[in-house]
């Protein structure tokens, strides 16, 4: 059942297109040699070019172009061998040149496709219209002084990729799935870290609504939404607002809006700010960007395996379910972690541990793969201890919890805590004998047909052995003794 907003006049379809601004991972800025790193002291990463000093000229950073091309290739997109930089003219205090250098008419990357998987298991293709390179502005800090605004130009000139989707998205879920997939691809490619909290990925959300079969109605653009959850909420809130406007006989005006995450609504930006005429024209300080096919080919050849390909391989090589494969490839770090654990081991057991206990532990600890106390090597070693019967499955859970707490390797924990599985039949026989002797009435009941009591005996024996007994041997011994 397709997503729809139920209005008083019937269902409304939601139409969404996303413009994602993704900060390019690079050593230096798009047109200058200053560092593009995040988090430095204000105004410590600013060259005279970034500060728009007289006579300073931009020089394109080859690596930023390579990152854009890699991203284009990762989006299955057309790479334009000739593209151009334009100036987008407007005044703002954190925009030193008085214009932003961007690619308006001739972007470096053209149309592409992103495939997203939805909760019902269906796959949808979202079109990418274009990807272009542009400079970021600096930052205005309005809260540092009562009457003054402080300017930090560290970000001024940092390379951004603007990735524009077709209006192919039809629900908040699809918007979220698209963003997650896009972020995953960017991270796989190493072209953007995708950290929305740090602002290195942000989205402008274009929303309109329509009745089935209608052409597009007027859209509104919600600027600068900085989390996937907020994008989904903004789509929902804005679509609902527009339905209400239309149904109450009004007309949706094309405008720029902001999402207020506290109140869960969108509201218009001051109209002053969208009255811009940007006076785009080709930047005369820069030559057209001309790419050699051989250079593009070399970048293509060096691309890493991307999520879709990896997911297919996980299913075919490891026999994983579509669901497990999808979960494991969503983040490259997770996929790498899994492959390290699975190497030379049973991949399904590895997948179960990674998606089960391991993810649960990360969630509880609020940790990520990168900060996980349990390394892939250690988790693999734990699986080995199970396979070679050093410990049983139940003890393994305890050992794992100890690994989460201490970060130690499992063999050390087993050693330290004396958790080594008991496979000595003498010890098991003795334990079973003691249990049988202590529970004559239960033994009688069992023998008279209450077979459910078998579990009781196993539990008692295991308890007597502090959980370390080999479950199979205990079973065998009990069956023999109770027969």
Partner 1 sequence: MLTDLTIAQAQAGLKAKTFSAVELTQAHLTGVDALNPRLNAFITVSHAKARDQAKAADEAIARGDIRPLTGIPLAIKDLFCTEGIRTTAASRILESFIPPYESTVTANLLNDGAVFLGKTNLDEFAMGSSNMTSAFGPVENPWKRRQDQNAVLVPGGSSGGSAAAVAARIAMGATGTDTGGSIRQPASFCGLVGVKPSYGRCSRWGVVAFASSLDHPGPFARTVQDGAILLGSMASHDPKDSTSADRPVPDYQAACKRGVKGLRIGVPREYRVDGMPAEIEALWQQGIAWLRDAGAEIVDVSLPHTKYGLATYYIVAPAEASSNLARYDGVRFGLRKDGAELSDMYGNTRAAGFGAEVRRRILIGTYVLSAGYYDAYYLRAQKVRALILRDFNEVFANVDALLTPTTPSAAFAQGEKMDDPIQMYLNDLFTVGANLAGVPAISVPAGLDSNGLPLGLQIIGKNFDEETVFAVSAEIERAAGFTALPQIRAGM
Contact residues toward partner 1 (CB under 8 A) are 48, 51-60, 87, 89, 91-93, 96-99, 149, 151, 277, 279-281, 284-287
Tell me the C-alpha to C-alpha distance, in Å, between residue 65 and each of 39, 117, 129, 460: 23, 30, 18, 67
Backbone φ/ψ region at 199: left (φ over 0), alpha (ψ -120 to 50), beta: left
Residue nearer to partner 1 on the CB measure, 85 or 337 = 85
155/191 Cα distance (integer angstroms): 17
Q: Strands 256-260 and 265-268: what pairing?
A: antiparallel
Q: Which two tokens stand for residue 51?
A: 């500060």
Q: How many CB atoms lie within 10 A of CB 27?
A: 12
Residue nearer to partner 1 on the CB measure, 146 or 371 = 146
Residue nearer to partner 1 on the CB measure, 51 or 369 = 51
- The per-residue DSSP string of 50-61 comes to TTT-TT------
Buried b / exposed e along 356-384 (16+ C-beta atoms within 10 A): ebbeebbeeeeeebeebebbbebbbbbbe
Residue nearer to partner 1 on the CB measure, 85 or 457 = 85
CB of 147 to partner 1, least distance (A): 10
CB of 151 to partner 1, least distance (A): 7
Residue nearer to partner 1 on the CB measure, 285 or 346 = 285
Strand runs labelled E in 176-285: 201-210, 220-225, 256-260, 265-268, 281-282
Residue nearer to partner 1 on the CB measure, 66 or 404 = 66
Residue nearer to partner 1 on the CB measure, 272 or 364 = 272
In this structure, the chain runs to a length of 483
Residue nearer to partner 1 on the CB measure, 267 or 279 = 279
Residue nearer to partner 1 on the CB measure, 86 or 324 = 86
186/67 Cα distance (integer angstroms): 10
CB 103 within 8 A of CB 66: no
Which parts of 203-287 fold into alpha helices (H)?
228-247
CB of 60 to partner 1, least distance (A): 7
Q: Which two tokens stand for residue 68?
A: 């854009």
Chain-centre distance for alpha carbon 65: 24
CB of 48 to partner 1, least distance (A): 6
Residue 221: φ, ψ to 5°: -110, 125
CB of 116 to partner 1, least distance (A): 36
**Helix (H), strand (E) at residue 150:** strand 150-152
CB of 167 to partner 1, least distance (A): 24
153/42 Cα distance (integer angstroms): 7
CB of 298 to partner 1, least distance (A): 23
Residue nearer to partner 1 on the CB measure, 76 or 89 = 89
CB of 280 to partner 1, least distance (A): 8
CB 20 within 8 A of CB 179: yes
Residue recorded with tokens 């000739």: 82
CB of 56 to partner 1, least distance (A): 8
Residue nearer to partner 1 on the CB measure, 93 or 360 = 93
Q: Which two tokens stand for residue 151?
A: 């300017």
| Residue 37, SS3 per DSSP | coil
475/464 Cα distance (integer angstroms): 14
CB 148 within 8 A of CB 91: no
Residue nearer to partner 1 on the CB measure, 277 or 441 = 277
| Residue 24, SS3 per DSSP | coil
CB of 101 to partner 1, least distance (A): 11
CB of 54 to partner 1, least distance (A): 5
CB of 221 to partner 1, least distance (A): 18
420/347 Cα distance (integer angstroms): 24
């Amino acid at each position: 059942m397709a997503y729809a907003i139920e209005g008083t006049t019937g269902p409304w379809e939601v139409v969404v297109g996303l413009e994602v601004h993704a900060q390019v991972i690079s050593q230096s800025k798009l047109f200058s040699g200053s560092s593009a790193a995040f988090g430095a002291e204000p105004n410590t990463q600013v060259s005279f070019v970034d500060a728009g000093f007289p006579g300073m000229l931009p020089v394109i950073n080859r690596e930023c172009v390579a990152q854009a091309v890699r991203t284009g290739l990762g989006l299955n997109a057309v790479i334009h061998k000739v593209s151009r930089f334009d100036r987008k003219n407007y005044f703002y205090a954190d925009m030193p040149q008085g214009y932003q250098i961007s690619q308006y008419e001739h972007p470096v990357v053209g149309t592409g496709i992103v495939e997203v998987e939805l909760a019902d298991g269906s796959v949808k293709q979202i079109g990418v219209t274009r990807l272009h390179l542009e400079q970021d502005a600096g930052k205005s800090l309005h809260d540092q002084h009562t009457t003054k605004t402080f300017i930090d130009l560290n970000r001024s000139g940092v390379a951004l990729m603007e990735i524009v989707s077709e209006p192919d998205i039809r629900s908040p879920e699809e918007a979220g799935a698209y963003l997650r997939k896009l972020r995953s691809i960017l991270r796989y490619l190493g072209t953007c870290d995708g950290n929305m909290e740090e602002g290195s990925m942000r989205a402008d959300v274009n929303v309109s609504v329509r009745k089935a079969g209608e052409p597009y109605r007027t859209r509104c653009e919600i600027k600068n939404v900085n989390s996937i959850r907020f994008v989904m909420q903004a789509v929902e809130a804005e679509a609902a607002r527009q339905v209400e406007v239309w149904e109450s006989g009004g007309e949706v005006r094309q405008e720029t809006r902001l999402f207020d995450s506290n109140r869960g609504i969108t509201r218009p930006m001051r109209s002053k700010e969208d009255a811009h005429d940007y006076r785009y024209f080709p930047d005369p300080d820069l030559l057209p960007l001309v790419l050699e096919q051989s250079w593009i080919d070399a970048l293509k050849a060096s691309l890493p395996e991307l999520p879709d390909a990896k997911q297919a391989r996980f299913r075919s090589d490891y026999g994983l379910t579509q669901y497990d494969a999808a979960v494991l490839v969503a983040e490259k770090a997770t996929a790498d972690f899994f492959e390290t654990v699975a190497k030379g081991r049973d991949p399904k057991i590895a997948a179960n541990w990674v998606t089960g206990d391991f993810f649960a532990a990360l969630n509880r600890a609020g940790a990520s793969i990168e900060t996980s106390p349990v390394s892939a090597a250690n988790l693999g070693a734990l699986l080995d201890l199970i396979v070679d019967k050093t410990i049983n499955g139940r003890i393994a859970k305890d050992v794992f919890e100890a690994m989460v707490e201490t970060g130690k390797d499992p063999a050390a924990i087993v050693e330290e805590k004396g958790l080594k599985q008991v496979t000595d039949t003498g010890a098991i026989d003795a334990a079973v004998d003691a249990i049988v002797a202590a529970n004559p009435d239960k033994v009688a009941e069992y023998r008279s047909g209450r077979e459910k009591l078998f579990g009781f005996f196993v539990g008692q024996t295991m308890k007597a052995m502090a959980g370390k007994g080999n479950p199979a041997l205990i079973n065998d011994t009990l069956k023999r003794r109770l027969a």
